[in-house]
Chain A
Amino acid sequence: MEETVQYAGATGLLGSVWLLVAIPLVSAAILLLLGRRADRWGHWLGVAAIGAAFVLGLAFFFQLRGLENKSVELSLWDFIAVGDFRVDFGLLFDPLAAVFVLLITGVGFLIHLYAVEYMAHDGGRRRFFAYFNLFVAAMLLLVLGNNYVMLYFGWEGVGLASYLLISFWYGRPSAATAGKKAFLMNRVGDAGLAIGIFIMFATLGTTQYDEVFSGVGAMTGTTVLVLGLLLLLGAAGKSGQFPLQAWLPDAMEGPTPVSALIHAATMVTAGVYLIARSNPIFSANSTLQLVVVSVGALTLLMGCIIGAAKDDIKRVLAWSTVSQIGYMFLGVGLGGGAYALAIVHLLAHGFFKANMFLGAGSVMHGMRDQVDIRRFGGLSKHMKITWLTFMMGWLAIIGMFPFSGFFSKEPIIVAAFEREDWTAWLFGGAALLGAGLTAFYMTRLFVLTFHGPKRWTEDIEHPHESPTLMTIPLILLAVGSVGAGFLLSTSVPDWLTATAGLGGEHAEHEAVLSHAVITTLSLLVTVLGAGLAWFLFRAGTATAPQPAGVLVTAARRNLYTDAVNEAVFEKPGIFLTRALVFLDNRGVDGLVNGLAAAVGGGSGRLRRMQTGFVRSYATSILAGALLVMAAFLAVQAGWLA
């Protein structure tokens, strides 16, 4: 980017943008510090804090609209200042941050409301809300920071809160394992982000957004590529994209509102935010964009295929999240005007996915926490509101006209077809195929849950609709699922053009197919997929696992990605640990004793293997010393220099 990026200082009302982070944070602190004393009213404090943040967010939003520059920066204090290196503890409120703030606090508020009732019978509800608000504060910090270090703060914060929330139901070993998995896979991504930030620091001497983006032009192509790939690794970890997608479906072990807020609407979109925010870096290197697009396309197909084979309602939704975020990655990877399209899809997805997750929670609430869709069926008669609201979400996600998914997903498909070479066919085709598959597996989910014959377990006589406090958020989110798409797709791209680098003139290429053809095709595959699923599953399904062909078996096993992870990461990790433990405790000692035993020829000496470690410590120090000596001498002889 040749143009320099600069932000204006914050004044007036916008000078208190920091309140957005402070309010949820303080409420979380109060809930944690007061302990049981706050049990009776704690959850309402949690809800009120997010509600207040939303109202504030709206006020800031309108304030920002009236401004010329549409980007304000608020520097709170010098965080790190060594020599000429400076990290500001500062916030940036610009159109991109503003839409995220509204999404996080708006959808967050509805999910909070829902959770009051959903968690009513859980002894740890206050603690739950404390972690929940901690999460919101961290997420807001993530999107409001004005430099990469601040983003990293929020990034770590949401990771931590998410880990705590997944492990919330600690009684379940699966929840603990899932928490661990989420944590580890996120750490891989975090490491990428951290190293990326260090590279910025090393090459540009700054991590402020404006200075980094202004400095991209001065970096070599390789640096930009490496930096971008590291940021992408971070984004992939947080957003459950290939190859770090495995943790997201497992994370569904947490309470359902958590799945809705963190693992559907907000945190998992942090990766998309990171790439959209860093768009000057990604736009500067076409290889980088190609990688992002490939990751997006691959993940969106993977998510669809695996989602079609799962029977756990929350896992199907989770894989659909993976797949939809794939669409967003595809969008941000395409660059230019498609950045804004990805953000539009992200916002629309926030609504309809939260809607469906909460709907799933409502179903589980009525069905004694059953999650197996083969054990549902015919619920449309018993849970009218859940059924209708879920239907809105379902129509939205499959991209049916005129629901929001149509307005947000279809432009991404069109944009994919607008690439300038043969890859237009590849990525456009993948996006189109994904649309058909999405229609198939989401319809399968919908039909098996709400229609067809009952396949309930014996202990359920009459499933009940959820209480009002749970259905109100459902209705509001359903309204969003219907209407948001059109509104967003007409207003947000314009709004986002004011964000540095976003929405700039899209280098329009002729699409390889005309717009009308693509629209028709995408509606066609959607109807086909949905029709096929309706036809196959209208009469229900067997309640026991069925033998399946190669593809379905592979899909049931997450396309063997877990096996790959295990072979590539887990096994070597375990081996390394064992080897180090062995060397540290036994290896040297064993060697010495073994030698002694061999020399002495008596087995009695072997008994001493467990005692008298000092000599073996000394031996290990000696061995290390010899190595270090040898290495120094090798340096001296010029072998290592």
Chain B
Amino acid sequence: MTELKLPSLDYAALAPILIMLGTALLGVLVEAFVPRRSRHLVQLTLALLAVLAALTMVVFNADDRMLTAGRALAVDGPTLFLQGAILVLAAMALLLIGDRSVERGGAFVAQAAVTAESADDRRQAEGRNGLTEVYPLTTFAIGGMLIFVAANDLLTMFIALEVFSLPLYLLCALARRRRLLSQEAAMKYFLLGAYASAFFLFGVALIYGFTAGIPGRTAGVDFATINAAVSESPASPVLLFAGMALLAIGLLFKAAAAPFHVWTPDVYQGAPTPVTGFMAACTKVAAFGALLRVFHVAFADAGWDFTPVLGAVAVLTMLVGAVLAVTQTDIKRLLAYSSIANAGYLLVGVLAPSRDGLSGTMFYLVAYGFSVLAAFAVVTLVRDADGEATHLSHWAGLGRRSPFFAGLFTFILLAFAGIPLTSGFTSKFAIFGPALAEGQTWLVIAGVLTSMVLAFPYLRVVVLMWLSEPGESTPTVTVPGGLTSAALMIGVLATLVLGIAPAPLLDLAAGAAEFVR
């Protein structure tokens, strides 16, 4: 029996991941041993501290460019930039998750197992403290995402995918109110997520088969092996392209690109709003981080022949997101379709295989994450007796009732619409510019046209808020406690600053825009 050789680990480089996963495990223990009353505080503090510590380590590692853990993980510019992005956005999401002032007991259900809409369920909705298991679940998800953007072989990537997906499925089911909708969302997300994972895994298998077919090479699914196999393969074989297609499908599902977007509106609507914000910001970063790495590193030498296919997906995604957003009457569904359209813009960035394209895409992910979290933060505030009032008719005249929050929301919507002096404009600029330079003219034209369409539903909400008389059903805006306020203000300020002076972050992204191979 040959001796088992352990791969060397660079603990400092892996620290962010280890911190998050360790804290998640610690969080499980806290659930078991800390008295119920103080769990919420302990868990929230623990999670936030962990995110801060991980972020510190990311900053500390900023100059690392290496492969570690037996080449399974790459700690390089894009990894560190995206890990930093995930952590910052996750911190904001944690603030929203931890808020218990907007809704008594928090946004999460107190007892998930009682029958939805029974008497027990109504009792639990009336202010008993929500589950604190959400914190370990969230930290697990964050840890999974950190691995996902660093994964340098397909199996690690798959495991990371599952590590961050499973907690999200659960989190979706934990809304305090509208339990049925929430459970339905979780069920759909889980079933379809499992379905998409199967595609991904099948793709991994085909790629493995492809590398095994190259004579004189060891088979494997790490990106260096795949890349070498792609360059050495005489013709472009069926296995490679079929595998690539299946991998892309799995990742595009997470990224909410059409036609794999179908789950998005239902899940965004049903999930507790802080979790929706978390998914819209962080899952997007993770999914696109992985897409970028797979296409820039593993398949870089496949000649980008598949660009027209992914381009068609991008156009379809932008079109579906923009056009369907027009017909929405629920703010969370509207934001879901907007998130789909944004996935389309991000795909345009992925298809600009240059350094500028890469840095533009990363910039976009951060800018969009801030804005979308701020948007969902406002959604948590607009409430009536039944919880969040998400139907758009309830938002009529909100500007009269609470000009401040309506003003902030207007600003965020203008950012989504890509109006200049917001990050929405600079980030689209950062993506479309390089895409055009790479010759993706038709994608940019589609992007500009759909963003023009997409501006319409946003401005309709603006007009609804400011130029309509408040009706009977116009809810008041709950004055948020410190946590939600902090998240909201961070999001709005970032949207403003990145819109006026985007240069520092763009520089940072440009400096980080190189993969190690």
Contact = CB atoms under 8 A, between A and B. Distances in A.
The answer to whether A and B come from one shared complex is yes
A551 interface: no
Given A156-B419, A617-B263, A618-B191, A635 B306 contact: yes
Chain A interface, DSSP helix/strand/loop, else mixed: helix
A80 B506 contact: yes
Contacts of B262: 584, 617, 620-621
Contacts of A187: 452-453, 455-456
Interface stretch (A240-248, A473-481, A624-632): A624-632
A621 B241 contact: no
Contacts of A188: 452
A620 B264 CA distance: 13
B259 interface: yes
B242 A32 contact: no
B199 A584 contact: no
A621 B420 contact: no
B246 A576 contact: no
Contact of A629 (B188, B242, B258, B436): B242
Interface string B461-483: 00100111000000000000000
Contact of A614 (B192, B308, B502, B510): B192
Interface in B323-361: 323-324, 326-327, 355-356, 359-360
A191 B188 contact: no
Given A168-B467, A632-B245, A80 B260 contact: no
B430 A82 contact: yes
Nearest to A640: B308
Contact of A633 (B242, B323, B359, B500): B242
Interface string B168-199: 00000000000000000001100110011001
B113 interface: no
A614 B448 contact: no
Nearest to B510: A82
Nearest to B453: A187
B3 interface: no
A170 B355 CA distance: 48
Given A35-B403, A80-B426, A82-B510, 10 more contacts: A191-B448, A614-B188, A621-B260, A624-B259, A628-B313, A629-B242, A633-B242, A636-B240, A636-B241, A636-B305
A83 B356 contact: yes
A394 interface: no
Interface in A126-161: 149, 152-153, 156-157, 160
Contacts of A617: 188, 192, 262-263
Given A82-B510, A617-B262, A636 B356 contact: no
B476 to A, nearest CB: 16
CB-based closest 9 A-B pairs: A624-B259, A632-B245, A636-B241, A153-B420, A170-B467, A202-B436, A617-B262, A187-B452, A631-B309
A636 to B, nearest CB: 4
A641 interface: yes
A201 B196 CA distance: 39
A623 B188 contact: no
Given A632-B244, A633-B242, A80 B448 contact: no
B22 interface: no
Contacts of B359: 82
A456 B2 CA distance: 106
Given A191-B449, A617-B192, A633-B241, A184 B456 contact: yes
Nearest to B439: A202
Contacts of A584: 262, 320, 324
Contact of A581 (B263, B327, B430): B327
- Interface size on B, as a range, is 35 or more
A636 B436 contact: no
A21 B355 CA distance: 36
Interface in A377-394: none
B421 interface: yes
B259 A194 contact: no
A621 B436 contact: no
B492 interface: no
Interface string A161-201: 00110011010000010010001100110110011001101
A82 B445 CA distance: 22
A179 B420 contact: no
Contacts of B25: none
Interface in A251-297: none
20 contacts: A80-B426, A80-B503, A81-B503, A82-B360, A83-B355, A85-B356, A89-B500, A153-B420, A170-B463, A191-B448, A202-B436, A580-B319, A617-B262, A620-B259, A621-B192, A625-B246, A628-B309, A629-B249, A632-B306, A636-B305
Contact of B199 (A160, A191, A625): A625
Contacts of B319: 580
A623 B258 CA distance: 11
A22 B475 CA distance: 35
A577 interface: yes
A57 B420 CA distance: 25
B70 interface: no
Contact of A641 (B305, B419, B430): B305
A230 B510 CA distance: 30
Interface in B222-268: 236-238, 240-242, 244-246, 248-249, 253, 258-260, 262-263, 266
A44 interface: no
Most buried by B among A80, A82, A89, A617: A82
A261 B464 CA distance: 25
A179 B463 CA distance: 10
B356 to A, nearest CB: 6
B420 A152 contact: yes
B188 A635 contact: no
A195 B447 CA distance: 10
B404 to A, nearest CB: 9
A198 B436 contact: yes
Contacts of A62: none
A163 B458 CA distance: 13
